[in-house]
Structure 1
Amino acid sequence: MRERGRTRRLLGLGVRTGSAMIRTRLGGQADWRALGEALFDGLSELKGPAMKLAQIMAQWDDLLPPDLADELSRLQRQAEPMPWEGIRRTLIDQYGDLDRHFREIEPRPFASASMGQVHRAVTHDGNTLVLKVQYPGLAEVLESDLAQVRRIMRLGRWLKVPQVRLDALFEELAASLRGELDYHAEAEALARYRARYAHLDSLVIPEPLPSLSGPRVLAMRYVAGTPLRELEDADDATRQRLATTLADWLTEELFTHRELHADPHAGNFAADDHGRLVIYDLGAVVPVPESRLRAMMALLDATLAGDPMAMDEALLGLGGRQGQGAPLALYRESAEAVAPLFAPGIQDFSDVRVHRRLRDLTPKVWAAMDRLQPPADTLLLSRTLNGHYWNLVRLGARLDMHARTQPLLAWARRR
C-alpha cells in the first residue's frame, strides 16, 4: 500500500507538471510559482529519486522558468525533515539501546537531503558527532521510484530537452542514487580523502567513525561550519581563500587522483571558524579516466583557440557527435562565451557579463544536444563542473584561470 501511495503521488506531481507545460506550449500562462510550491511540498515529503532529480534540475536554473527554478532551489536548503520517530527506529536498528551509546541525540536534524538527514549527537565521553541517517524503507522503494521518475522525465521534452539528454540524465541519476545508499562506500571515501588531502591545511574533511557506522547510519566527528550559500556577505579575504582552496582541490582531485566529487550543490560545502573549506558529503565520488580528461582538455584547447572544426573533432574524441555536428556558428559562439574565463590575468567570477553569456548560450547548446550526442559520463562531469563554477560565482572568486589551465593543456597535448 505504501509503495502504491508513493506511485500515485509521484504520478500526480507529473500530471501537474505536464499540464503546466502543455498550457505554456498552447500559448497560455502557466503558474510556475504555484507548480514549484507544489513540487517542493510533495518532493520534500516523498524524498528519494524525484527529490534528487529536482535538486539536479535546480542547478540548471538557466533551463527552467525563473519562478520554478527558485522554488526547486529550496530543496537544497529547506527540505522538510522526516519525523523523528521514523529516524529513531533506524537508529535503534543500528545501535540497539541508544542511551548506551549516546548522552544525547538531537531530534531536530540540522540538514535534510533527498536520501537521508543529519542529526547531532553527543557521546558519554563528551564528543560531538553527526549521524547521517538513511530514510526508512528507501532501499525498498528505490527502483519503483526510479521507474516513475523516468515517466515524469519524459515531460522534459515539452521544455525542448532532447530525449538523448533525458535518457542520459536518468542513467546518471539512477547510478548516483544507488551509490548514495552505500554508506560503507562513503565512509571509505571520507577516510581516503582525509589521507589524500592532509597536506592542504585550508581543507577540512570530517572523520568517519566505523565503529558507530552501519549500512543505514554513517557516524562522523562534528565539524561546525557556515554553509557556502550563506557566505556571500562574508569578508572578501575569507571568500577568496575558500575559492582558491576549492579550485586547488578540484584540480588535484581530477588531474592527480582521477576522481571527482560529483555532488557540487552548495549545501555540501562550508567554512569553519578559521576560514577553511569544509566538505561534508562524499556520497557521490566518481572515477575519471585519464583518456576522458585528455579528451575534455582537447575540447577546451580547441575552444580557447576559437577553432570550430577542432571543437567538432574534439567532440568526436569524447565519444559524442556521432551524426551531423552542431552548426559551426554555435561552436564559435561557445568559444566566445567561454574564452573570457581563461584570458590571461585575474578573472572575476562575479562579473555578470561572463555568466550572462553562458546562460544565454546554454539553451542553444541543449537545443543541439540530439546532434551533439554527448556520452553520459561527460554529462555528469559537465554538470559537476558547472555546479562548482556557480559555487565560485557565489564566492565572488578572483582567479587566474589562464595560469591554472596552461600546464594542464600542455599535459593534454602530450601523448
Structure 2
Amino acid sequence: DIYKSLSELKGSALKIAQMLSMDKNILPKSYVDKFTQSQYNAPPLSGPLIVKTFTKNFGKTPEQIFDTFNLKSSNAASIGQVHQATLNGKKLAIKIQYPGVGDSISSDLKLVKPFAFRLLGMSERELNIYIKEVEERLLEETDYELEVRRSIQFSEDCQNLDHVVFPKYYPELSGKRIITMDWLEGLHLKEFLKTAPSQELRNKIGQALWDFYNFQQHELRAVHADPHPGNFMITPNEDLGVIDFGCIKEMPNDFYYPFFSLISTDVINDKQKTIDAFRKLDMIHEDDTEEQVEFYYKAYKEMISLFAKPYINKIFDFSKPEFFEQLYAYGEKISKMPEFKQARGVKHFIYVNRTNFGLYQILNELKATINTDTYEP
C-alpha cells in the first residue's frame, strides 16, 4: 500500500504525497483519494515522545508550561502534529515536529524518487532539479524558529486584507521543534462545504483566498507555497484563517518580471517579446535550433494561454470544469512528447506553478467566481 508506506515515512515523503495529491491528473485514479488523506492526517506521535520533545526544548514537561495540555493530537500533518493547550485562559495550538524529520529528508526523498519518477515520467535530470528544490524548501519547513518569524512577518504584512485572519504566534513558547500559536476555530474546506454554504459565501471565501495570494505575489514577492486545504480554515465569522507558513517561496526579480509579463496581452501577443521572456525563464535555450525555438514557443504559448486564463479574465468562474479539463489534457499531451523529457524552465517554476495550481483547485472546490483584477504586476 503506497499511501501507508509514505505516511509511515512522515516528513519528506509524505510532503511529496501531499503535493502529488493536489495534482490529480498525474495520479492513477485509485491512488487519488488515499493521497488526499495525507492533507489532513498522519500516524500520531506517542505521549512519551511528546514529553521528551518538550523536555529537550524547554527543560520542562508540557504540563509544567501550560495550564492544560492534551497529549492526544487534534491534527497530524506531514512533519508535525498539533495539540490543544490552555494558558492564562487562552486556547492554544501547539505544533510539535516529528523527531528526526530534518535528518531524514535526503533519505526520504531517495526512497520516494523512483515512485515520483514513474508517475511524473520526466527525465532524470529534470527530476533531480525538482527534488533539489523540494529538498531546500523542506529543510526550511523543519526550521520552526524560521517558521515563527515568517508567520509573524506575513501576518503583519497581510493584516489589512479583507476577510483573512491569522493566529497570534508566541516565540517565547516556541523552539526548534515546537510552535505555539492561538487556537483558530473553524472548519477545513471539506467540512465547510458539507454545510452547504451559499454561493455568496463561497465567493467571499474564494475572493479572500485569491486576494491573499495575489497580494503576496505582487506586493511581497514571496508566497505561502503550500496551498492544500489543510492549511486553511473558514472561521465562525466567515473569514479565511491561514494556519501554516512553513513553506514560503520567494520570487527573485529575474523570475518575477518575465514570469508575470506573460499574463500581459501586450507580451503574449508579441512573438518576439514572448520568446525573450521564455529565454529569461530558461524555457527556450540559447543553443536551441530555429525549429526548436518555434516548437517551444508554440507549446509554451499554448500552456501560458491556458494557465493564465484566470489572470487575463478579470472575472473568472472556477466552477467550470472545462478550464481544468483543458489543463489536464494539455498536461497529458506534453507528458507524451519526447521534447519535454528534459529540464526546461528555472527552478522557481516548481513551487510557483504548484502554488497557483493549488490555488485554482481550492477555488474550483469552492465553485467560486472571483474578481481576479485586484493586484497587478
The residue number in structure 1 matching 2:154 is 193
User: Which letter does structure 1 place at the counterpart of 2:347?
Assistant: A
Contact kept in structure 1, 2:13 and 2:112, CA below 8 Å: yes
The residue number in structure 2 matching 1:99 is 63
- 1:338 and 1:94 mapped to 2: Cα distance? 45
- Structure 1 residue 308 displacement after superposition: 5.9
Contact kept in structure 2, 1:165 and 1:369, CA below 8 Å: no
- 1:230 and 1:357 mapped to 2: Cα distance? 28
| 1:395-414 matched pairs, under 5 angstroms | 395-401=366-372, 403-404=373-374, 407-408=376-377
Farther off after superposition, 274-283 or 53-62? 53-62
Change (3 A) 1:308 1:56: farther
Contact kept in structure 2, 1:337 and 1:357, CA below 8 Å: yes
- Structure 1 residue 339 displacement after superposition: 6.2
| 1:330-369 matched pairs, under 5 angstroms | 330-331=299-300, 333-334=302-303, 337-338=306-307, 340-342=309-311, 344=313, 346-366=315-335, 367=337, 368-369=339-340
- 1:378 and 1:189 mapped to 2: Cα distance? 22
The residue number in structure 1 matching 2:223 is 260
Change (3 A) 1:383 1:369: farther
Quote the RMSD (CA, aligned, Å).
2.4
- 1:142 and 1:345 mapped to 2: Cα distance? 41
Contact kept in structure 1, 2:225 and 2:248, CA below 8 Å: yes
Farther off after superposition, 160-169 or 45-54? 160-169
- 1:334 and 1:244 mapped to 2: Cα distance? 25
Farther off after superposition, 106-115 or 135-144? 135-144
User: Which letter does structure 2 place at the counterpart of 1:99?
Assistant: E
- 1:85 and 1:292 mapped to 2: Cα distance? 46
- Structure 1 residue 351 displacement after superposition: 0.6
Q: Deviations over 1:271-290 (max 9, x none)?
A: 11111111100011122123
The residue number in structure 1 matching 2:140 is 179
2:206 pairs with 1:236: no
| 1:4-403 matched pairs, under 5 angstroms | 38-95=1-58, 96-123=60-87, 125-156=88-119, 159-232=120-193, 233-301=196-264, 305=268, 310-322=273-285, 323=288, 324-325=292-293, 326-327=295-296, 329-331=298-300, 333-334=302-303, 337-338=306-307, 340-342=309-311, 344=313, 346-366=315-335, 367=337, 368-370=339-341, 373-401=344-372, 403=373
- 2:27 and 2:334 mapped to 1: Cα distance? 15
User: Which letter does structure 2 place at the counterpart of 1:211?
Assistant: E
Q: Deviations over 1:241-267 (max 9, x none)?
A: 111111112122111121111111111
Change (3 A) 1:339 1:291: closer
Contact kept in structure 2, 1:133 and 1:217, CA below 8 Å: yes
Secondary structure of 2:4's aligned partner: helix
Contact kept in structure 2, 1:302 and 1:314, CA below 8 Å: no
The residue number in structure 2 matching 1:23 is none
- 2:323 and 2:248 mapped to 1: Cα distance? 29
Secondary structure of 1:128's aligned partner: strand
- 1:283 and 1:252 mapped to 2: Cα distance? 18
- Structure 1 residue 224 displacement after superposition: 0.9
- 1:305 and 1:138 mapped to 2: Cα distance? 43
- 2:313 and 2:358 mapped to 1: Cα distance? 23
- Structure 1 residue 46 displacement after superposition: 2.0
User: Which letter does structure 2 place at the counterpart of 1:174?
Assistant: E
Farther off after superposition, 317-326 or 125-134? 317-326
User: Which letter does structure 2 place at the counterpart of 1:394?
Assistant: E
- 1:173 and 1:342 mapped to 2: Cα distance? 26
User: Which letter does structure 1 place at the counterpart of 2:46?
Assistant: P
Task: Count residues in correspondence.
Answer: 366
User: Which letter does structure 1 place at the counterpart of 2:327?
Assistant: L
- 2:122 and 2:246 mapped to 1: Cα distance? 28
Change (3 A) 1:203 1:222: same
User: Which letter does structure 2 place at the counterpart of 1:348?
Assistant: D
Q: Deviations over 1:185-240 (max 9, x none)?
A: 11101111222122224111111111111111111111112112333332222221
Higher helix proportion, which one?
Answer: 1
Q: Deviations over 1:13-49 (max 9, x none)?
A: xxxxxxxxxxxxxxxxxxxxxxxxx122122222111
Contact kept in structure 2, 1:303 and 1:338, CA below 8 Å: no
Secondary structure of 1:117's aligned partner: strand
- 2:259 and 2:117 mapped to 1: Cα distance? 29
- Structure 1 residue 327 displacement after superposition: 4.9
- Structure 1 residue 295 displacement after superposition: 0.6
User: Which letter does structure 2 place at the counterpart of 1:188?
Assistant: R
The residue number in structure 2 matching 1:6 is none
Q: Deviations over 1:106-151 (max 9, x none)?
A: 222222111111111112x221111110102223333333343345
- 1:97 and 1:344 mapped to 2: Cα distance? 54
- Structure 1 residue 298 displacement after superposition: 2.1
- Structure 1 residue 340 displacement after superposition: 4.8
- 1:72 and 1:382 mapped to 2: Cα distance? 20
